[in-house]
Structure 1
Amino acid sequence: MKKRCHNRRKAVMNSSNESLLQFPCDFPIKVMGKAHPQFQQAIVEVVRQFDVEFDDSRVQSRPSSGGNYVGLTVTVRATSRAQIDDLYRALTGHPMVKVVL
């Protein structure tokens, strides 16, 4: 049975700099960007650099009400805090990405 990281929006580290997450676990990340035909594929390519077993079935897509933006939830198999941090940096640095949560 796979573990899921709960309360990911709360502090991932406690005051003594220890991880509050138990690895490995499934870790959802929200990625928002302009609606573009290649947006989802571009994000999947970035995610696969950090989770080689990641597949498209672990992506949920939701367009904005006006259709100008799209929100993706990608659920990665997190193996360490460093992996999550590196993935966040790669996603936030991508030119098609507006916000990563």
Structure 2
Amino acid sequence: MSPVNETLLEFPCDFPIKVMGRMQPEFAQSIAQLMQQFDAEFDAARIEMRPSRAGNYLGLTVTVRATSRAHLDDIYRALTAHPMVTVVL
């Protein structure tokens, strides 16, 4: 049986994260600022944005430079705790 800590990822790596929240003018900017706290070289211009069909939600794909599994876990925790975020994948 393999240890729980094992991962198929090799760090550091660029890791895409999908984030969804209600359509708000400051949503993408707020998420970009959060990502810059974890990745000083995060480029907000590379955020991919997709509005939902009805236009009520906005899906973002943010790619961060993850340095370890713990770093990635911290990023996921921060995103899921963010008040504007509905779903993180």
Q: TM-score range by the shorter chain?
A: over 0.9
Superposition CA RMSD, Å: 1.2
Q: Which runs of 5+ in 2 are unaligned?
A: none
Deviations 1:24-71 (A, max 9, x none): 111000000000000000000111111010011321000000000000
Could you list the structure 1 runs, at least 4 aligned residues long, displaced by more than 3 angstroms after superposition: none
Pairing partner for 1:37 from 4, 25, 50: 25
Please give the residue correspondences for 1:25-64 in structure 2 after superposition, counting only pairs within 5 Å.
25-64=13-52
Distance in 2 separating the partners of 1:15 and 1:43: 35
Q: Percent identity?
A: 67
| Kept after mapping to 2: 8 A contact 1:58/1:76 | no
Task: Please state whether the residue corresponding to 1:37 is helix, strand or coil.
Answer: coil
More helix by share: 2
Count of residues in Structure 1 that have an aligned counterpart in Structure 2: 88
Task: Please state whether the residue corresponding to 1:43 is helix, strand or coil.
Answer: helix
1:73 aligns with 2:88: no
Deviation at 1:22, TM superposition (A): 0.3
User: TM-score normalized by structure 1?
Assistant: 0.83
Distance in 2 separating the partners of 1:80 and 1:19: 10
Task: Please state whether the residue corresponding to 1:49 is helix, strand or coil.
Answer: helix
